[in-house]
Amino acid sequence: MVLCIKSTSLSSLIHNYSIIAFFHFLIFVLNIQKGATVLMWINL
């Protein structure tokens, strides 16, 4: 019973971590795009 609860909490932890990592990656990509557009405007 304890093992079942442990594995469930571990899987939910991994699930939450993957969601957080995905959002961090999304923000990272958006920041790169923003920086690229700023550099393009500076070059213009």
Q: For the residues of 1-44, what is the DSSP string, one character each? A: -HHHHHHHHHHHHHHHHHHHHHHHHHHHHHHHHHHHHHHHHHH-
For the chain, what is the radius of gyration of the CA atoms? 19
- Angle among Cα 25, 12, 9 to the nearest 5 degrees reads 140
Mean pLDDT, the chain, whole residue set: 83
* pLDDT-based confidence at residue 21 (cuts at 50, 70, 90): very high
Give pLDDT tens digits for 23-39. Answer: 999 999 999 989 888 88
